[in-house]
Amino acid sequence: MSMPTETSPSPAHPSLGSKLVPLRRNSGWLLAAGIALVVLGIVGLGSVTMLSIASAIWFGIMMLAGGVIVLIGAFRSEGWKSVLLHLLIGALYLGVGVFTLVNPVAATASLTLFVGAALLATGVLRIVVSLQNRHLPFWVWILVSGVLSLLLGAMILFQWPSSSLWVLGTFLAIELIFQGWGVIALARAIRSTFDGGAARKS
């Protein structure tokens, strides 16, 4: 009587390579998108004033869209006790959006003031957290990051409103550059994964 042969169970989860197949097919597009983001960021560093105003306009568009969504949700929730509050929130969103689009320069100055105050407050909080955790080995790095945020926020506020000409644009340009480098690194990692696997098989 022959003993039944055991079959090896199929893996419960697909391999990493199979998960990356769709990304491998689009790795060229990912690489091109990353390069485009880096180029846009570098170009943006040369025109931070225009980029700052563009950031404010985009913020205004998002506030308008958010206000419309909140108002639609409020009107569709008849009988809810918080309808009035949501109507006020939606109207506030719309008001901020309209103000931003009508006066993008003034909106840029207001947003810059908010960014400076936020960095100042964040720096103070990080310094306090670092001093409360001096027993940890990395508390110095938290302290350094807090001091840097504090100095950056103070610089923005002391130079306000002239700082509104470069703050938002500079931040957005740097974000584009870092985002682009991240996408480029992802595309190269995907390619090296498959190229390395092909080299091992040959």
pLDDT tens sequence across 103-119: 888 888 888 888 889 88
Q: Does residue 23 belong to any structural domain of this protein?
A: no
Question: Residue 6: what pLDDT?
Answer: 47
Question: Residue 138: what pLDDT?
Answer: 79
Q: Does residue 7 belong to any structural domain of this protein?
A: no
pTM of the model: 0.61
Enumerate residues 6+ apart whose C-beta is below 8 A from 80. none
Indicate the number of domains in the chain: 1
Question: Residue 148: what pLDDT?
Answer: 86
Q: How far apart are CA 185 and CA 201, in angstroms?
A: 24
Give the mean pLDDT of the chain: 78
CA distances to 19, 135, 184 from 4, rounded to whole Å, are 34, 62, 52
Question: Residue 144: what pLDDT?
Answer: 87
Q: How far apart are CA 66 and CA 55, in angstroms?
A: 16
* Residue 52 near residue 164 (C-beta atoms within 8 A): yes
Q: How far apart are CA 24 and CA 42, in angstroms?
A: 27
Q: Does residue 10 belong to any structural domain of this protein?
A: no
- 119: its two tokens: 């960095």
* Residue 119 near residue 156 (C-beta atoms within 8 A): yes
- Name the DSSP class of 159: T
For 80, other C-beta atoms within 10 Å of its C-beta total 12
Q: Does residue 53 belong to any structural domain of this protein?
A: yes
- 73: its two tokens: 């949700």
Four-point Cα dihedral 84, 86, 90, 92, nearest 10:
70
Q: Does residue 99 belong to any structural domain of this protein?
A: yes
Q: Does residue 169 belong to any structural domain of this protein?
A: yes
pLDDT level of residue 13 (50, 70, 90 thresholds) = very low
Closest CA to 176 of 46, 82, 62: 46
pLDDT level of residue 11 (50, 70, 90 thresholds) = very low
- 187: its two tokens: 């595309």
Q: How far apart are CA 24 and CA 148, in angstroms?
A: 40
Q: Does residue 48 belong to any structural domain of this protein?
A: yes
pLDDT at 27 > cutoff 80: no
For 168, other C-beta atoms within 10 Å of its C-beta total 25
* Residue 127 near residue 146 (C-beta atoms within 8 A): yes
Q: Which domain holds residue 56?
A: 29-193
Q: Does residue 11 belong to any structural domain of this protein?
A: no
